[in-house]
Amino acid sequence: MIRHLSSILDCEILPLAKGKALVLSGEADYVAVPALWDVLHELLGERLPLLVIDLTAVTFLNTPVWAALQVYQKEGYPDSRLAVCGMSDSIAAAFDINGVGEEVDHGGCIAIYSTIAEALAQSEGTVPGA
């Protein structure tokens, strides 16, 4: 089922063998952050071993969205891992500039992969309880 987070951002939640994927499409700007956080908060309550955020269909993503993802990672760690896949070059550059993937005290780090399948394959030895 597709959820509309704003007039320009949609998401779909897909089941995975080790958790779920949140597939975003459109422009992920600050207007979508409250609705995105509601979705992330719901997923946090599920105590997923892995949540993969698929950005393949995202054309723009700004700092408040990165902040929401970092909060998810910090709140869920160490029982839950967060991975991002499908970043365009411009989104990857923003990710690097903001230092989102860097490890933080008591919060782990957000892993980066090309695809959901790659994230699942790499999680085999890194997800708690795997």
11 domain residue, yes or no: yes
Total structural domains within the chain: 1
Query: Is 103 a member of any domain?
Result: yes
Is residue 26 one of the residues assigned to a domain? yes
42: Cα separation from own chain's centroid: 13
Considering only residues 22 and 101, tell me which one the structure prediction assigns the higher pLDDT.
22
Residue 41 within any structural domain of the chain: yes
Q: What is the CATH number of the domain that holds 23?
A: 3.30.750.24
What pLDDT, on a 0 to 100 scale, did the predictor assign at position 124?
Answer: 64
Least trusted range by pLDDT, from 27-41, 56-70, 89-103 = 89-103
pTM: 0.88
Lowest mean pLDDT across 30-44, 65-79, 101-115: 101-115
Asked if residue 130 is part of any domain, the answer here is no
Least confident of 34-48, 88-102, 116-130: 116-130
Could you list the residue range(s) of the whole structural domain that residue 104 is in? 2-123
Residue 128 maps to a domain: no
Would residue 83 count as lying in a domain? Answer: yes
User: Is 129 inside any structural domain?
Assistant: no
Query: What is the torsion angle, in degrees rounded to the nearest 10, for the CA atoms of residue 95, residue 103, residue 108 and residue 44?
Result: -30
